[in-house]
Structure 1
Amino acid sequence: MCRTKTFIKITVSLFLLCCTASQASAVTVSFTNPTIDEQVLGAGRDFYIIGTIDREGKKASECPIDIKIEVAITGEVREGIIEPVRTVRSRVDRTTGVTPERDIFFNYGGKAPWVSLSREELAKSPPPDLIFHHENPKSFYDPRIKAVVTENSFAVLVQGGCTKNFDTDYREIYKEDLEWKLYRVLLTVMSGDIALEEHGVALNNHSFDIMFGSVQEKILARFSPSVHMAKVEKFANERGIRVYKDLFPGYWNVGLPSTYEIPLRWRDNDGLEYISGKIHAIMYNIPLEQCASQTVEIGRIAFEGFIESEEIVYYYYDIGEPSLNIKTFHGEEEKEGKIIAFDHGDRLQFTRAEFSNNQNYSPCRVIDGVDTNVYNAVAVDRGNPLTLYGVVTPIQPLLSKVIPNDDGTFTVGNRIAKLRYNFVNMIEGTLYSDEKTVLLERFFDPKDVTQINKSIYEFRHSFQLPKKMDGKIVTVEVKGYDLNEEIVDGTEEKFYLWIR
C-alpha cells in the first residue's frame, strides 16, 4: 500500500510564460500514481494522482507552474466533448513556485493521533488533503483545490464519493459519484493566474484512462512480516490477483520520514475495495486490533454480510508458516510453506504437530521434531508434549454484532474462539478431553520476546497427555465453538494419534 515501483512517464516540453525568452526552459512531468496495474478502482473510490516535476536544473521560483486535473467520461472525450465531472487545480506562490505553507492546514484535527511529523517535515511534502486557501478558511472543504506542487513533485486528490460525508463540500459541488464508467484523466500544466475560477495559461495536457467499477480479483492479507509479504506478492503475481500498493487517499508518506494518516479517509477507501469482486484472503498474522486486514477489510465484509460468500476464498500456509527451519539427521533444513485454499465451507485446518513445548514461539527457531501431515496420523513418544498448530477462517456474525466505529473501523462481534478436543479410544471411549483458545502468540525476532504478535485466526495448542494413554492409538476429535459457545459448522476434524 505504500510502495510504488512502476510509473507512466509523460514528457512535457514547455516554454514557460513565467520566464523571459532567454530563460525559457523545458519541464518534464511524470506520473507515478496511479500505477498501470491500479487503474481499475472500486466504484466511488477517491484516488491520488502523483507525479514528478523535472525543471532541468532550474528552481521552482524561476519557473513556477501549476497543475490542473480534469476527469471526464472517456466516451465523450473521444467524440470531442470535454465536460469534466471533476476539476482540481493547484495554486502555487508565484515567488516561490510551490504551494505556500500558509495554504497548508498543519493543525488539521482529522489526522491520526499517532502522527508525529513536525511542521518542517510536513511542509516539504504535504498530502493534498490538507490544502486550503488561507484567505478563506472554509475553502478547506472544497474538493476542487486539493492539489500540491513542491519543488520537484505534484499531488492531487480526486474524490469519487465514498468519503463525501467527511470534511468536504462534495455534495454541494458534485452531482454524481464516480461509478461504473471509464473516465479519462486530463492533466494540464499551467502558468499565469491560478485563481480557482480562471484557467490561467494552459501549456500542455496529457491523459490516461481509469475505470471505476470492481476489481475482479484481489488479495486480503497482512503485509508483515516481509517474508510473508514476499510470498503473498509471488502468489498474487502468478495468478493475476491485485495487491493494493498504490497509496489510499488519507495514507500519505511520499517524501516523509513517517506516514501522515487521515483514518476516516483511507479506511473508507480501503474497505470499499472489499465489497465486490473475488477476494483471496490469506489467514496469517492477523490480530484483533490495530490491523487493517481485520478492523477495516474483514470488518467491512462482515458489515456487508458476506464473510461466508463463495466470492471469498480463504487460504493458509500448509505448514503454518512461510518457512520453517527443521532439524534433521543431516543438520538443518529449510522447508518452504505453500499457500493453499480452504475448501468452501471448511473452517478449520491443522498444519503441523511438534513434540516440544517452548514457552515462547518464534518461527525463526530451529524445530527439533515435526510432523507436517497431521491428517496422515501423528505419533508422539510417551511422556513428550504434543503441540498442534492450525488455522481457522472468519465466520459471519449477526449483522447486529458488526459495529461500525467512529474511527472508520469495525468491531466484528463473533469468531471461532476455542476448540474442544476429545482423545477417543475405540475400546475404552474418551480417555482425555481439553479445551483451548484459538490464538497464536508469536514473535519474529528471537532476540526480542517482548514484541509479541497475536493472531486470532491461528492457534498453537500444547498437551501433556496422561500416562493412561501410553502405548495406545486414539482418534483426536475436534470441534470449534464461537464466542457464544455455539458449534461452528465446518470445524469438525479427526485424525489418529499414536502414543508410542
Structure 2
Amino acid sequence: MKCRSPSRMYALVLIICILPVIIVADNQDSGVVSLVITQPSDNETNFAEKRDFYVYGIFPNRLDCPGDIRIELFAGDNAGGQRVRLLESHVDPLTGTTPLSCIETNYSEGQNRGNVMVADLVKEPGGLYDPSNKVVVTNDYYQGLILGGVTKDFDTTYRDNTGDPLKDLTAGTYTIRVTGLSGNLSGQVVEKIVTFGLTDSLFGTDRPPVNLQNRITYAGIHHLRIDRDWFPGYFIYPGYNNTGYTVPKRWNPNNAIESVNDQNGTIIDSPAVANNSLILYNINEKSTTYGVELSSILKYGLEDNRNTTFLYYDTGEPYLTYTDQKTGIQENITGNLTPFPKDCRMIFTRTEIYQNDNHEQENTFDPWNNTTAMQVDYNLSDGITILPGDECILYGVTKPIRSSVNETKIPHRYTINNRIAVITYSVLDEDGNDIYNSSRSVNLSRLFTQGSSDRFNSIFEFGHEFRSPDKPGRYTISSQGIDLTGKVVEGTESIMPVTVQSPETN
C-alpha cells in the first residue's frame, strides 16, 4: 500500500473516521483525552546538550482510527517561541495508522526485536534520512524522533522540510507541542517543557531489580539524573512482550553524552564539568555501564576527578539472606551505597566463615543460598577471628584505574585496556614467617537465576576463599592489587590481622 499524504486524502479521512471524531469530540467535552506525552516522562525532562529524544505517548485506550500527528519543538518555555523542529506523520486514511509500507523493514544498522513500528524507520514520504517524517502512529501509541545534533552525521540529512540545516539543541529551555490532526485525535493538543544543560548522572546496572531500585532512590536523594526512558535508537514497547527495535549507532552516542559530553559547539557542557556517579556492582564487559558510561569517564581521565563518585555496597551486596551459624536464625541484611574513599582503590566488604566446608566457592556468590549456616563479619577493621580449618571467603570491590580505551565499531562505545585484575595475598605467622602466598583474579560471578549455573560476572568485584591455618595463633594477611600489565596499583595495599582461636576457647 502506498503512503498517502493527509492533505490529499483529507476528505476520505473525514468520511471514514467521522464517527470516531464525533465520539472523541464528545469525550473531549467531558474531559477524556487520548493524546498524552508518556515520554519524556516527568522525571526525565533534562537532557545533555545536543541529545536526541523520543516524544512518545501510549493511548489510554486502544484507538480504532488514531489519525495524523504533528510534533513541534519551540525555543523557550511556551509554544510562542521560535519553532526549531517540525515533524508530521502520514497515516493511511483507512486505518488512521502508519502503514508498514512506510517503514524500512530491512534496515542494515538496526536490530529487530519483533516490532518495527518505530519512528527511526519511517521512510516515506521524503526518504529514510528525512528527519521531518520521523513519526509513527499505531492503534496503541505514537512515537516521534527529535534529533538534537549528536547523531546528525548518521543516517539523516539533518535538514528541515524547507531544506535548511537544523540548529543543534544546545543549552536552554524548549517546549514540546503534540497536535492531533485527524481521526480519533483530531483537535487534541498536549505540551511539555524540557531543558538541555549539564550532565549530572548516576549510572549502574539493572540486575538484580533491587540494584535498579536503589539507584533510583539514591539519585532522588542526591539530585542526580538517571535514564529510564528509552534512549533514541533503543525502543522496547512493554505492551508487545518487550519487543522493539534498536539502532546502536544512534543509541550509544546519546547514552555517552549523558556521561561525558564531548560534542563540539555545546554552550555550557564539556568533559571538564561532567558530574558522574557510578555503582560498582555487577559490571561486566558486555554491559552498557562498562562500554559506554564508565569508558567515557576513563577516556577523558576523569576517574579521580572531584566530580566523579564511585559507589559500592558496604556489605558487598544490596541484600543478604543467610542462616547464622551460632543462632540458627535466618538473617536479612541490607547493604548501603557508599562512596569510595579518596585515594583508596580496593575495599574488603565482608567475610563469610563456614565450619568444615569443602565446597569450592572461589569468586562465586549465590544469592539464593540462604540455608547454609555461616558466620558473617561486616567490620573487618579489627581483622578476622576464625577456628582452625574453617573456610573463609573475603569479598571486596575494586575501583577503576586510569586506562586508555579502544574504539569499537559502534561510535562512543569502547573497550577498557586496564583495571585491577589480580589480588596477591601473603599470610604471615606471628613471627613474620611467610606461610602462604597466592594470586587471585578479580572476577566475581553471581548466580542470579535460581537453580541455574548461569554465571553473571563482575570484573570489579571478587570473593576469594581461604582455609584457616590448623595451628591457633595470630596471623596477618597482606594483600595488594595488580593491574593487567603486572604493576602494583597504589591505594590497594592492605594488612589484616587474623586470629585463629583454639576450639576449646570458642
- TM-score tier by shorter-chain length is 0.7 to 0.9
Cα separation, partners in 2 of 1:23 and 1:272, compared to 1, 3 Å: closer
1:194-224, CA deviations, whole angstroms, 9 ceiling, x for partnerless residues?
xxxxxxx9945442221111243x2111001
Please name the residue that 2:265 is paired with: none
Q: What letter matches 1:484 in structure 2?
A: T
1:420 lines up with 2:445 in the alignment: no
Distance 1:447 1:393 in 2: 31
Please name the residue that 1:299 is paired with: 295
Q: What letter matches 2:176 in structure 1?
A: V
Q: What letter matches 1:220 in structure 2?
A: F
1:174 lines up with 2:165 in the alignment: yes
The residue matched to 1:245 in structure 2 has which SS? coil
Please name the residue that 1:334 is paired with: 332
Question: What pairs with 1:150-165 in structure 2 (closer than 5 Å)?
Answer: 150-165=138-153
CA contact (8 A) 2:21 2:186 kept: no
1:340-393, CA deviations, whole angstroms, 9 ceiling, x for partnerless residues?
111122111101112246335302213512212122210121122221100011
Question: What pairs with 1:12-91 in structure 2 (closer than 5 Å)?
Answer: 24-26=22-24, 28=33, 29-53=35-59, 59-60=64-65, 65-74=67-76, 80=80, 82-91=81-90
The residue matched to 2:207 in structure 1 has which SS? coil
Out of 260, 280, 284, the residue aligned to residue 283 of structure 1 is 280
1:108 lines up with 2:107 in the alignment: yes
1:270 lines up with 2:258 in the alignment: no
CA contact (8 A) 1:147 1:156 kept: yes
Question: What pairs with 1:350-429 in structure 2 (closer than 5 Å)?
Answer: 350-356=348-354, 358-360=359-361, 361-366=365-370, 367-397=373-403, 401-408=404-411, 409-425=413-429, 427-429=431-433
Q: Answer with 437-446 or 158-167: which moved more.
A: 437-446
1:484 lines up with 2:468 in the alignment: no
Gaps (5+ residues) in structure 2? 1-12, 26-32, 261-272, 502-506
Q: What letter matches 2:379 in structure 1?
A: N
Out of 199, 202, 205, the residue aligned to residue 222 of structure 1 is 205
TM-score (norm 1): 0.84
Q: CA deviation at 1:498?
A: 1.3
The residue matched to 2:485 in structure 1 has which SS? coil
Q: What letter matches 2:331 in structure 1?
A: E
Q: What letter matches 2:390 in structure 1?
A: N
Distance 1:461 1:54 in 2: 52
1:45-93, CA deviations, whole angstroms, 9 ceiling, x for partnerless residues?
11000113468x8620xxx531111212106x57x4x432211111111
Q: CA deviation at 1:165?
A: 1.9
Please name the residue that 2:8 is paired with: none
TM-score (norm 2): 0.83
Out of 426, 443, 451, the residue aligned to residue 447 of structure 2 is 443
The residue matched to 1:301 in structure 2 has which SS? helix
Distance 2:42 2:199 in 1: 14
The residue matched to 2:322 in structure 1 has which SS? strand
Distance 1:273 1:379 in 2: 46
The residue matched to 1:307 in structure 2 has which SS? coil
The residue matched to 1:223 in structure 2 has which SS? coil
Q: What letter matches 2:192 in structure 1?
A: F
1:407-435, CA deviations, whole angstroms, 9 ceiling, x for partnerless residues?
24210111011111222345334332221
Aligned length: 451
Q: CA deviation at 1:466?
A: 5.1
Q: CA deviation at 1:38?
A: 0.6
Please name the residue that 2:457 is paired with: 454
1:77-118, CA deviations, whole angstroms, 9 ceiling, x for partnerless residues?
57x4x4322111111111221111100111111113xx442x
Distance 2:19 2:432 in 1: 99
CA contact (8 A) 2:118 2:143 kept: yes
Please name the residue that 2:268 is paired with: none
Question: What pairs with 1:203-218 in structure 2 (closer than 5 Å)?
Answer: 203=187, 205-216=189-200, 218=201
Q: What letter matches 1:24 in structure 2?
A: I
CA contact (8 A) 1:313 1:344 kept: no
Out of 428, 434, 437, the residue aligned to residue 438 of structure 2 is 434
Please name the residue that 1:256 is paired with: 240
Distance 1:265 1:358 in 2: 47
Please name the residue that 1:243 is paired with: 226
CA contact (8 A) 1:286 1:293 kept: yes
CA contact (8 A) 1:324 1:364 kept: no
| Percent identical | 29
Q: What letter matches 2:91 in structure 1?
A: V
Runs of 4+ in structure 1 off by over 4 angstroms are 16-23
CA contact (8 A) 1:85 1:174 kept: no
Distance 2:383 2:92 in 1: 73
CA contact (8 A) 1:365 1:446 kept: no
Q: What letter matches 1:170 in structure 2?
A: Y
The residue matched to 1:273 in structure 2 has which SS? coil
CA contact (8 A) 2:256 2:296 kept: yes
Cα separation, partners in 2 of 1:92 and 1:23, compared to 1, 3 Å: closer
Q: CA deviation at 1:21?
A: 9.1
The residue matched to 2:128 in structure 1 has which SS? helix
Distance 1:391 1:259 in 2: 35
Q: What letter matches 1:210 in structure 2?
A: V
Please name the residue that 1:463 is paired with: 466
